[in-house]
Amino acid sequence: MVNRTCVIIIIVNIILLGGGAIFIAWYSDHMEFPSFSVEQGAINAYNFTAKNHLDATFIFVVRSHNRDPKYDIEYKQVVVSVYHPNGYSLTYENESPYIEHHGNGSFFTAHAVAHDVLVSDADVAADLRNGTVSGHLDVEVRVRAKVRYEVKRWKHKNYLLKAICSPVVLNFTTWKTFNKTYCNVDSFDKPANKIDSFQT
C-alpha cells in the first residue's frame, strides 16, 4: 500500500511539473503586439504643380506602446510611409532605432519629404489638387518595423511589424484641428535579418 501511494504521488508530481513547464513555455512565447497611433499631423511647404509634381513635408507625431508585460521590444529599423488612401505611395522616411521596455510607450516625429514626386495616377492627382483648394488632405500612414522581442537577453524572437493608420486627415494651416488616428497592427513571423522593399 505504501509503495502504491508513493507511485501515485510521484505520478501526480510529474504531471504537475510537466503542466507547469508547458505553462511557462507558453507564457514566455505568447507576445503582445505593440499599439501605434498618429497623435499629430501637418503639412509644410506644400506645392502641387500643373504637371502633377508634388513637393511637401508630411510631419507626424507617432506613439508606440509596448503592451507586453514581460518582453522588451527593440526597434532595429523603422520606416514611416505616406500613401494616398487608394494605396498610391507618395513618400517615406527612415526613423532612428529605439528600445521600448515592457509596459512603456514612446513618441517620435517623422518628417517624410516628397520632393518633385511625379503623381501619375489621375485620381490621386485630382484629390491632391482638390486638397489644395479645400485646405486639408486625407492620407494613409504606414509604419513598418523590424523588431526584436527580448526577455532579459536570454530569450528573443524577430518579427516584421506593419501598422496601418487611416484615415489621417491633415490640415494645411494648423495642428489644432487634427484628430488622433489609431492604427491596425499586423506581424510577419519570419527572420528579420533583411527586408526588401521595406518602404512599401
Judge whether 195 lies within some domain.
no
Considering the domain architecture, whether residues 100 and 183 belong to the same structural domain is answered as yes
Considering the domain architecture, whether residues 6 and 64 belong to the same structural domain is answered as no
Residue 154 near residue 145, CB atoms below 8 Å: no
Judge whether 200 lies within some domain.
no
Q: How confident is the model at residue 28 (pLDDT cuts 50, 70, 90)?
A: low
- pLDDT tens digits for range 88-106: 999 999 999 999 998 899 9
pLDDT of 11 strictly over 90: no
Domain that holds residue 24: 1-30
pLDDT of 5 strictly over 90: no
Distance in angstroms (rounded) separating the CA atoms of residues 113 and 94: 11
Residue type, 13: N
* Long-range residue pairs from 42-50, CB within 8 A, at least 24 positions apart, any chain: 42/170, 42/171, 42/174, 42/175, 42/178, 43/137, 43/170, 43/171, 43/172, 46/132, 46/172, 48/119, 48/125, 48/128, 48/129, 48/131, 48/132
Residue type, 159: Y
Whose cell is 497592427? That residue is 185
Per the structure, the count of domains in the chain is: 2
Residue type, 77: Q
Distance in angstroms (rounded) separating the CA atoms of residues 184 and 170: 19
Considering the domain architecture, whether residues 83 and 55 belong to the same structural domain is answered as yes
pTM for the predicted model, two decimal places: 0.80
